[in-house]
Chains A and B, each alone.
Chain A
């Protein structure tokens, strides 16, 4: 039987606010345990939440960026359950009336096809703390620094049909939240996390199969692996006569499997009800207008502009707009170098990306700034160096030896463009190889390359290749 995979993603993006969603405690990552947990985050008796304006502003920005409705009225509700990392015994979230509803995101499939993925809703909620399972005499330790960090939970429609599509969607959203500067996107620190609802159904069947919710997917690779594993598991289960159980499963990255979390499953009756400590969140036109005014150029818009303005291919434009920082870097290179935008794209996507990858650095941490790379490209354009020599210059810049001009100067890499100097070298080469000269002149054209090589060798590769060719031809034929 042929199976169709149906996936919906719930993505939790930690909002990049300075303070928590309902308290004035800091949200910085990595502090000593419980030093950023105030009375509110600790759920002390008598404390009350007050909503952070910036968190709402960020939610509105996302809503606008995905073409969704920003709800003029939304309501915070309590989700009640007991867990040590949940100090109040309830999580403040949004249930019936979320702040953002009915949006979408377009993803590019490999075949160059664009697919529209529906986003059902995005709602504001507070993050929980962390349980540390290192053995404290058989006990667990609870750190509540993360408790109360604002989260935007972004829930997609079950529109994704493969692990690859799921990853493409997640990457697109990851790029978007970073463009919007509402989330740092740091997946290792848990700033951008994903739960996947996965089911399978016989191809052509309208009704959905029973889904399993896979949790703990904190990298793109894990999302792909976990979904692939889950799809295989479900198909095998059904084909062997079994039934998929609706449950929560945990992805174990070490084993590459998902396993049932039965313990957490039993009796999850969350008893949602409107939080009486908070009033309805009302967003007026001015608030939405301010959010709209703060939107940057969005990835899709930027990509189209790169194609139109710089003559880049769809693919290249897509790569260069994957993050806002990379796009900005590229544009700065073009601006500084005043060269062919295509050449700039090749350098950014080629040598620069390779160097970043190799050193594990983000574009923002690049030792070669956009100005430096642009400066080097300018030297290619004005024939100071050749493209080949440029690679050497780039490496030196990457190693911190200064900008292109300094490197060229220091290493004496300036191209020889003085015709009389090149002629002198050619004369020397011709004088030193009378036999080859005779052979060439008698018709062995292939030897031309030999002479070019000899001239380049004699100049340490610095002679302008075009001039060398032209002058050699004149001399040998003359």
Chain B
């Protein structure tokens, strides 16, 4: 599976990664190699095999509906890149 330049750009966009123009060929080659490698999977017949999402054969535990957290905004926002009036600031969101 050889990835094209456009595939790399599309994936990088979906993943919101800025990649430098000069790195695109290497990404394309590395990613293609990895995909070729994992293509071994295709050879196996998995008809009737249940997908396994998780090693634990258990079910979800449920929490009681209780408020257990207190306001720690100052603590949390001390490590934030940009805040004002208790809000996290980001470049303008256009809808």
Give Cα A86 to B63, complex, Å. 23
Partner of B56, one of A76, A274, A279: A279
Residue of A nearest to B71 (CB): A35
The complex places the Cα of A261 from the Cα of B54 at a distance, in Å, of 38
How far does the alpha carbon of A143 sit from the alpha carbon of B95 in the complex, in Å? 17
Pick the residue among A19, A139, A279 that contacts B82 (CB under 8 A).
A139
The verdict on B47 contacting chain A, using a C-beta distance below 8 Å, is no
Given A19-B65, A34-B77: A280 and B59 within 8 A (CB)? yes
Give the nearest-CB partner of A284 in chain B: B59
Q: Do residues A133 and B65 form an inter-chain contact, with CB atoms below 8 A?
A: no
Asked if B48 is at the interface (CB within 8 A of a chain A CB), the reply is no
Give B53 Cβ to nearest chain A Cβ, in Å: 4
Contact between chains at A138 and B92 (CB < 8 Å):
yes
Partner of B16, one of A17, A33, A82, A261: A82
B7 to chain A, nearest CB (A): 13
Least CB distance from A101 to B in Å reads 18
Partner of A52, one of B63, B85, B87: B63
Find the B residue at minimum CB distance from A25: B69
| A286 part of interface (Cβ distance < 8 Å) | no
Q: Are B89 and A53 neighbours in the complex by a CB distance under 8 Å?
A: no
Question: Which B1-39 residues have a C-beta within 8 angstroms of A?
Answer: 10, 13-14, 16
CB of A312 closer than 8 Å to a CB of B: no
- Give Cα distance in the complex from A33 to B86, angstroms: 6
Instruction: Give the residues from 46 to 73 in chain B that come closer than 8 angstroms, CB to CB, to chain A.
Output: 53-54, 56, 58-69, 71-73
Q: Is B78 an interface residue (CB 8 A)?
A: no
Residues of B within 8 A of A32 (CB): 73, 86
Chain B neighbourhood of A279, CB < 8 A: 54, 56, 58-61
Which residue of chain A lies nearest to B61 when distances are taken between CB atoms in the complex? A50
Q: Write the nearest CB–CB distance from A221 to chain B, whole angstroms.
A: 21
Quick one: which of B60, B64, B71, B95 has the most chain A CB within 10 A? Answer: B60
Residues of B within 8 A of A83 (CB): 93
Evaluate contact between A84 and B93: CB separation under 8 angstroms.
yes
**A353 CB → nearest B CB, Å:** 35
Given contacts A141-B88, A142-B90, contact A36 B61 (CB under 8 A): no
Contact in complex: A53, B92 (CB < 8 Å): no
Does B72 lie within 8 Å of A38, measured CB to CB?
A: yes
Residue pair A140, B90 in contact (C-beta under 8 Å): yes
In the complex, whether A282 has a CB less than 8 A from a CB of chain B is yes
Neighbour of A282 across the interface among B60, B63, B82, B93, CB < 8 A: B60
Chain B CB within 8 A of A288 CB: no
Contacts of A23 in B (CB 8 A): 69
B65 touches A84 (CB 8 A): no
Q: Which of A167-175, A179-187, A262-270, A440-448 contacts B (4 or more CB under 8 A)?
A: A262-270
- A406 touches B (CB below 8 Å): no
Partner of B95, one of A24, A42, A250: A250
Chain A residues within an 8 Å CB radius of B69: 19, 23-26, 36, 38
Interface residues of A (CB under 8 A from B): 17-19, 23-26, 32-39, 42, 44, 50-56, 73, 75-76, 82-84, 131-133, 136, 138-144, 250, 261, 263-264, 267, 269, 271, 274, 276, 278-282
Give the interface of B toward A (CB within 8 A): 10, 13-14, 16, 53-54, 56, 58-69, 71-73, 76-77, 82, 84-95
A-B residue pairs in contact (CB < 8 Å), sample of 6 = A17-B65, A32-B86, A37-B73, A82-B16, A84-B90, A267-B14
